[in-house]
Amino acid sequence: MKELAGELGITPQALSNRLRRGHGTLVENALTVTCPHDEEET
């Protein structure tokens, strides 16, 4: 991770934070939880 952060011109901590936030956003947008009755109404 240190090498990649260096190539990007950011600190390893900044890279870690960006990856963490990106992962959280990906999971939030990829997984949609709905109740069974919600699906019947659409």
Summarised one tens digit per residue, pLDDT across range 13-31 is 999 999 999 999 988 888 7
pLDDT over 80 (residue 8): yes
Residue 9 in 3-state DSSP?
A: coil
The overall average pLDDT reported for the chain is 86
More reliable by pLDDT, 3 or 36: 3
Here the tokens at position 6 are 């260096």
Place of tokens 């870690």: 16
